[in-house]
Chain A
Amino acid sequence: MSDVNPVPGAASDDEVLLRVENLVKYFPVRSAGLLGKREYVHAVDEVSMTVRRGQTFGIVGETGCGKSTLGRTIARLYDVTSGKITFDGKDITRLSQRRMRPLRREIQMIFQDPMGSLNPRRRVGSIIGDPFAIHGLASGAERRRRVQELMERVGLNPEHYNRFPAEFSGGQRQRIGVARAIAFRPKLIICDEPVSALDVSIQAQVINLLADLQAEFGLTYLFIAHDLSVVRHVSNTVAVMYLGKLTEIAPADDLFTTPRHPYTGALLSAVPVPDPDLSDQREQIILVGDVPSPIMPPSGCRFHPRCPKAAPVCVSEVPQLEPRLGDGPDHVAACHLPMAAGENLINFRPTIDELDRVVEADGSVLPGGAVSEGSKS
């Protein structure tokens, strides 16, 4: 890549466990017709970030924004289109699957669907024993003993060693996934929406388990989720992703108190508030239109067709991730017109030609900007 984005939060090398620079992942899609042009889904586009040891780096974004693809590309389940991934000082961007294998002990994943990520036709003991079998580290009685230790550590009954995944509840299944992931005390665990398929009460148990394990083994988490309150609760640093790009990275509390990117602002206004009186007073920002197609993402800032603050510069120029409005180096936002503290997006109307914006299939042009949906009782 010619122009290198500044890697946010410049930290010394020992502190950094994972450094991602200008990571790009495109998926080819066949367009209509035999001679149709080869098109690409821009799933992850020029993403740069730094994850420090022992911390939790949260990634939030809507469904389909590319956050899971980002996690899986970092885990090298997908090949990298371009960019660079440095893990623990080693460049793992182009390692072959064979060369990657020893590193798999150090990078583990926990998946969203606790049913889908466990083989339904294999017994739990054998599933949790997989890491030992694959890397040839323990077998027979020794493997069984270590698997049962792991089961006990994550709060499962070791006597359930011979059961099938279907015989467990959702939370227990996720514990199975956690047990398998911590088998080798990995350095990095990529949690891909680890609790979004669970009941709220179970979510808390699994999150507490993850927090306990982090404290005990000094784990680093890359925590991908769409639930802002969960991410805020667990993360030290939070990155917001929209249509394949990171729009804002900040320490968790900063992001939630002073969001700079209007997209972050819109997301935060959608978080439900438990107090109904407070909820009624709040102005909720409803974004207009759908997320544009990742095959032909909008020019400039990808959020501009839906942004209430959109200006001509947002269409013509790609904003870089950098500190805005006097923020420290830890808080970066990719926005030409960042939000000031206390600013309300409802008061803004885009200043760009509406024809540049969302055009519906029937040719009608949607009125851009945000509509207020506050004071509804």
Chain B
Amino acid sequence: MSLFPGTAAEIAIEGGEPLPPGRKIEGRSPWQLAYERLRKDRTAKIAFATIVVIVLLALLAPIIAALVGHGPNQQFINTGESASGGPIGPNSTFWFGTDENGRDLFIRTLYGARVSLVVGVLATMISMALGVVFGLTAGYLGGAVDTLIARMIDVMLSIPFLVLAISAAYIWHPSFWLVIFIVGVLSFTYPARIVRGQVISIKEKEFIESARALGAGPLRIMFIDLLPNVMAQVIVYGTLLIPAAIVAEASLSFLGVGIPPPTADWGQMISDASGYYQYGSWWYLFFPSVALLITTLAFNILGDSVRDAFDPRGGGLYV
């Protein structure tokens, strides 16, 4: 027994451009709009497909290793090393060549993707979670809490990332989880600032006031009312943070304070390769570097597209 059987969209079509026949106006959430825009973005599709391939290769690494018959840490002293004990170049047995320990670089590069992806995603999740919590708290509560968190972020931003990360690795022993923790914790500052800024602009809106008038407490307002409104920005920033975390992990491993050997890791491989490059072992440096480059590039391009898709100024509303 509604007095208004029509939806808003059905009522509010006057004045707009005439629609193509057969097209129904329907309300769509910003998420749906972003998804539609993303689906039409060819660059984004290529980047996404690349990421899917990398993820599949990482997941299937043990199966590929079994098929090839080379383990990631298996040393082939007879077939995989030159007479002087150095790496040998790509051939039909070792497609990407071997390293100085006679290990198959093809298999190790595949296994390296597992480390990079897991560290990239987990560290990003830690950093987003911390960023959301600190950003919401600082932005919504304001006052002294805001000042405290803002100063803490300023302090963290003024200490160089590598100095802090290397110190942490010296205090605790380098390990897989420590790398995730360090990269995640040290990169929460930017999402925290983004969330804080968004919250400050949204918390003056009437719907927050109406939530307070209904008796909602600060926690409910922060996580039920504010969070859905900053989620788009968090997602956009998160997709751009994944490649940054992958690079940060590779840098730490390159410096010897990241993933401890013998785990296959791109940063570690690039670091080890640098000693052999001058003797002509280009493959040792080339394959892990290209793998790192393709992965971070794909994530960065996808991140840019996701950001564009969420931009309300973007065109293509009619799909």
Q: A residues engaging B (CB < 8 A)?
A: 72, 75, 77, 97, 100-102, 104-105, 107-109, 111-113, 116-122, 130-131, 134-135, 152, 155-158, 160, 163-164, 166-169, 171-172, 177, 180, 205
A121 CA to B9 CA in the complex, in Å? 17
Q: Which of B3, B206, B212, B220 contacts A113, CB < 8 Å?
A: B206
Q: Which of B3, B11, B213 contacts A75, CB < 8 Å?
A: B213
Q: Is the CB of A111 within 8 A of B5?
A: no
- Please give 19 more A-B residue pairs, beta carbons under 8 A apart, in addition to A102-B215, A131-B214: A104-B214, A116-B207, A117-B210, A118-B210, A119-B211, A119-B228, A120-B229, A130-B211, A130-B214, A156-B2, A157-B5, A160-B7, A163-B7, A166-B8, A169-B11, A169-B12, A172-B8, A180-B214, A205-B3
Contacts of A122 in B (CB 8 A): 224-225, 228
Majority secondary structure of chain B interface residues (helix, strand, loop or mixed): helix
Q: Known: A120-B229, A155-B3, A167-B9. Contact between A77 and B213, CB under 8 A?
A: yes
A101 CA to B8 CA in the complex, in Å? 34
Q: Which of A104, A118, A155 contacts B2, CB < 8 Å?
A: A155
Contacts of B29 in A (CB 8 A): 121, 164
Q: Mark B14-56, 1 if CB is under 8 A from A, else 0.
A: 0000000000000101100000000000000000000000000
Judged by a CB distance under 8 angstroms, whether B209 is at the interface is yes
Q: B residues engaging A (CB < 8 A)?
A: 1-5, 7-9, 11-12, 27, 29-30, 205-207, 209-217, 220, 224-225, 228-229, 231
Q: Is the CB of B205 within 8 A of A116?
A: yes
Report the nearest B residue to A104, measured CB to CB: B215
Contacts of B11 in A (CB 8 A): 169
Contacts of B30 in A (CB 8 A): 121
Contacts of A113 in B (CB 8 A): 206
A113 CA to B206 CA in the complex, in Å? 8
A157 CA to B7 CA in the complex, in Å? 9
Q: Is the CB of B216 within 8 A of A130?
A: yes
A112 CA to B292 CA in the complex, in Å? 54
Q: Known: A105-B215, A134-B214, A164-B27. Contact between A157 and B228, CB under 8 A?
A: no
- The minimal Cβ–Cβ distance linking A188 to chain B, given in whole angstroms, is 11
A108 CA to B5 CA in the complex, in Å? 28
A196 CA to B216 CA in the complex, in Å? 26
Q: Is the CB of A109 within 8 A of B210?
A: yes
Q: Is the CB of A167 within 8 A of B215?
A: no
- The minimal Cβ–Cβ distance linking A36 to chain B, given in whole angstroms, is 20
- The minimal Cβ–Cβ distance linking B103 to chain A, given in whole angstroms, is 50
Q: Which of A134, A160, A167 contacts B220, CB < 8 Å?
A: A134
Contacts of A167 in B (CB 8 A): 7-9, 27
Q: Is the CB of B27 within 8 A of A166?
A: yes
A171 CA to B213 CA in the complex, in Å? 21
Q: Is the CB of A157 within 8 A of B2?
A: yes
- The minimal Cβ–Cβ distance linking B204 to chain A, given in whole angstroms, is 10
Q: Is the CB of B209 within 8 A of A72?
A: yes
Report the nearest A residue to B218, measured CB to CB: A97
17 contacts between A and B (CB under 8 A): A109-B209, A119-B211, A119-B225, A121-B229, A122-B224, A131-B215, A134-B214, A134-B216, A134-B217, A134-B220, A156-B4, A163-B7, A169-B12, A171-B4, A172-B4, A180-B214, A205-B3
A314 CA to B229 CA in the complex, in Å? 50
Q: Which 9 pairs of residues, A with B, have the shortest CB-CB distance?
A: A104-B215, A167-B27, A157-B2, A121-B228, A155-B3, A116-B206, A117-B206, A109-B213, A169-B8
Most buried by B among A75, A104, A119, A166: A119
Contacts of B231 in A (CB 8 A): 121
A108 CA to B213 CA in the complex, in Å? 7
A160 CA to B212 CA in the complex, in Å? 25
A164 CA to B26 CA in the complex, in Å? 11
Contacts of B4 in A (CB 8 A): 155-157, 169, 171-172
A160 CA to B217 CA in the complex, in Å? 28
Contacts of B9 in A (CB 8 A): 167
